[in-house]
Amino acid sequence: MSDAPDEVMWAGKYLAAKRCGPWEYATRQGDGRAAVLLAIDDEDHVLLVDQYRVPLGRRSLELPAGLVGDDVADEGVEAAAARELEEETGYRASRLDIIGDFASSPGMTSETFTLVRASGLTRVGDGGGVAGEGITVHRVPVSEVAAYVAERRAEGFAIDVRILVLLGTLVLPTTVRPE
């Protein structure tokens, strides 16, 4: 832990690079929180999205998500989750339940997200995000998520770590450690 003050090394419209003692990290300008949606419909299908991500140089398979307060000052997590679900997927939820807050990559960024479970889904539009996002919506049976993710990975997609919420131990083999 350092007593040194945070030094802004560079700041843009959305991000800032900072240093605290020897530690360098990124912060989001503004609120910095995101709402991430675990949206599963009544037929046990999960809604996933993919879009081109410039930092990765390829498309990324993800849970629907977006910044809290992106367009509206003092926007709450539930309002942001409802807005992003409809914008990105074209679905509206009758119920949103907050699962909890999580750190995205705590060694590199101050960004956090709130995981929100969306249920009672009704399709109200096509989704795809706002202009320029190029989001593709996928409705995948929960029982087939592991195979679906493997297929996208084989096609060259990046896989957002939050997909592990769905995969759990299905992709993480148990390792026996020697005593």
Provide the pLDDT for residue 130: 87
Of 88, 133, 144, 179, which is the active-site residue? 133
Instruction: Tell me the domain boundaries of the chain.
Output: 1-30, 31-167
**Which structure tokens are listed for 85?**
């679900």
**Per-residue tokens: 177:** 């450690």
pLDDT at residue 28 in the model: 85
Q: CA of 168: how far to CAs of 12, 46, 110, 112, 137, in Å?
A: 36, 15, 25, 20, 22
What is the pLDDT at residue 169?
47
Measured CA to CA, the distance from residue 93 to residue 39 in angstroms comes to 8
Say which CATH superfamily domain 31-167 falls into: Nucleoside Triphosphate Pyrophosphohydrolase (3.90.79.10)
Q: Report how far residue 58's alpha carbon sits from residue 159's, in angstroms, rounded to the nearest whole number.
A: 10
In angstroms, the CA 43 to CA 102 distance is 28
Query: What stretches in the chain show pLDDT beneath 70?
Result: 1-3, 169-179
Check if 133 is active-site.
yes
Predicted local distance difference test score (pLDDT) of residue 1: 59
